[in-house]
Amino acid sequence: MDEEHKRMRWASRRGMLELDLILEPYVRLHYAQLDDEGRVRYRELMTCQDQELFDWFLHKQVPENPEHAHMVKTILSARRPEDTPP
């Protein structure tokens, strides 16, 4: 695992269990396979506030930024049934 991947794993630990259960598995399983554009999108998403991320990932709001919306959709579609909290 390269240093950037390690930084993104750390950045994905948000302190909100709901976000951690979504972001940590994604970055662990999929970040290394992202192309440069996907990695930029993910890094930019990690600069957003936790409450925004929470609203987006729990379908309360849609991101106005199309790059954020694309990344949220990508992350949610990559989830496996066992990644879903009880």
Mean pLDDT, the chain, integer: 91
- How is residue 80 annotated by DSSP? -
Distance CA 75, CA 8 (A): 14
Distance CA 82, CA 86 (A): 9
pLDDT at position 1 over 90: no
Single pTM value for the model: 0.85
CA distance to 22, 43, 47, per residue, from 10 (Å): 14, 11, 13
- At 35-62, the pLDDT tens digits run 999 999 999 999 999 999 999 999 999 9
Distance CA 23, CA 8 (A): 10
Contact by Cβ (8 Å): 42, 31: yes
Closest CA to 72 of 56, 52, 83: 56
